[in-house]
Amino acid sequence: MFEGFTLETVELPDATLRVRHGGSGPPVLLLHGHPRTHATWWRVAPLLASSHTVVCPDLRGFGRSSKPQDTPDHAGSSKRAKAADCVALMRRLGFERFAIVGHDRGSYVAFRAAMDHPGSITRLAVLDGVPIVEALERCDARFARLWWHWFFFGQPDKPERAILADPDAWYGGSPEAMGAEAYEDFRAAIHDPATVHAMMEDYRAGLGIDRAHDEADRRAGRTVACPTLVLWSLRDDLETLYGDVLSVWRPWAPHLRGRGLDCGHHMAEELPGDLARELLAFLG
């Protein structure tokens, strides 16, 4: 897994991240979603590394990266805090400007990085996501039926107890689909109470402080300054929920392109070749 990549632990001002990086050329940062770790990219990262320097961290709170301190506003788990980690990490590795790709919960961190640090982000790719405020404002019975977990995970204590009673049954996954090493890395994460709690805190932040940050940007008229690619899984829920996914993004990203891919939600694991080709064409 990740042949030729370096695995290390990087201490930053506000977090310590487990990071895998390799390749050469223009830098691109890949951010995983829930409940994965950076290992979800193991089939995609080598395909990008022939022409790019590829950096894959465990996000703050996930995998083997450090866990933020709990506070009433969940600020340590906010996408703003995690976006700041990303900029600090890339600077530590020698990159002042870089492209960023985020899947699922990682897409919210990537979006926040582009909004908060426009001078650092050269290109933004969002995989299976829309801005958090858009998702919550458009919430209806379909959203509640399909994405009920957003609101369950936002409750105190109970989701951790439910998940940790049987993490394998809750999250599924298999070594056949994910790859044996990636699956074991994923299982270690979902069986760790501290990681499960931090993953729930990510959702709690989403329902409060992250939404407030999106709302403040919209009131101020701020948009993504860099070229933006949005890809979504045709066998997942975004088209069911929103129809034209790009129409949700146009007010936020003036330089926008994108399309659906014929796969399920975990596109880096299910369709790595097609995903890598889309990303390479976008990254240039």
Round to whole Å and give the CA distance between 42 and 36. Answer: 12
For 90, counting Cβ atoms within 10 Å of its Cβ (0-12 exposed, 13-18 middle, 19+ buried), the class is buried
* Rounded-to-integer distance, Cα 201 and Cα 129, Å: 18
The percent of residues above 90 in pLDDT, for the chain, comes to 100
pLDDT score of 167: 98
Give 260-277 pLDDT, tens digit per residue: 999 999 999 999 999 999
**Three-state SS annotation for the chain:** CCCCCEEEEEECCCCEEEEEEEECCCEEEEECCCCCCHHHHCCCHHHHHCCCEEEEECCCCCCCCCCCCCCCCCHHHCHHHHHHHHHHHHHHCCCCCEEEEEECHHHHHHHHHHHHCCCCEEEEEEECCCCHHHHHHCCCHHHHHHCCHHHHHCCCCHHHHHHHHCHHHHHCCCHHHHCHHHHHHHHHHHCCHHHHHHHHHHHHHHHCHHHHHHHHHHHHCCCCCCCEEEEEECCCCHHHHHCCHHHHHCCCCCCEEEEEECCCCCHHHHCHHHHHHHHHHHHC
The confidence score (pLDDT) of residue 136 equals: 97
C-alpha separations of 243 from 35, 106, 112, 259, 260 in Å:
26, 22, 24, 12, 11
pLDDT bracket for residue 159 (50, 70, 90) = very high
% of the chain surpassing 70 pLDDT = 100
Q: Which of 208, 177, 214 is closest to 36 using CA atoms? A: 177
Going by pLDDT thresholds of 50, 70 and 90, the confidence category of residue 138 is very high
Residue 127: beta bridge partners? 103, 231
Q: Is the distance from CB of 125 to CB of 101 less than 8 angstroms?
A: yes
Active-site entry in 34, 117, 191, 265: 265
Alpha carbons 222 and 241: distance in angstroms, whole number: 25
* Cis ω for the linkage preceding 175 (within 30 of 0): no
- Hey, what long-range contacts does 161-164 have (CB within 8 A, 24 or more apart)? 163/190, 163/196, 164/191, 164/193, 164/196
Tell me the per-residue pLDDT of 86-108, one tens digit each, with 9 for 90 and over. Answer: 999 999 999 999 999 999 999 99
pLDDT of residue 189: 98
Q: What is the pLDDT of residue 150?
A: 96
Q: 18-37: per-residue pLDDT in tens?
A: 999 999 999 999 999 999 99
265 in active site: yes
Which of the four pLDDT bands, split at 50, 70 and 90, describes residue 183? very high
User: Could you report the per-residue pLDDT of 52-90, keeping only the tens digit for each?
Assistant: 999 999 999 999 999 999 999 999 999 999 999 999 999
74 is catalytic: no
- Give the residue-averaged pLDDT of 206-231: 98
Cβ contact 82:209 at 8 Å? no
pLDDT of residue 118: 98
- What interhelical angle do 193-207 and 209-220 show, nearest 10? 40
pLDDT band, residue 162 (cuts 50/70/90)? very high
Task: Please state the CATH superfamily assignment of the domain spanning residues 6-283 in this structure.
Answer: Alpha/Beta hydrolase fold, catalytic domain (3.40.50.1820)
Of the pLDDT bands very low, low, confident and very high (cuts 50, 70, 90), residue 197 is: very high
Domain boundaries, the chain: 6-283
Give the pLDDT confidence score for residue 176 in this predicted structure.
95
State the average pLDDT for the chain.
Answer: 97
From 58, 104, 210, 217, the catalytic residue: 104
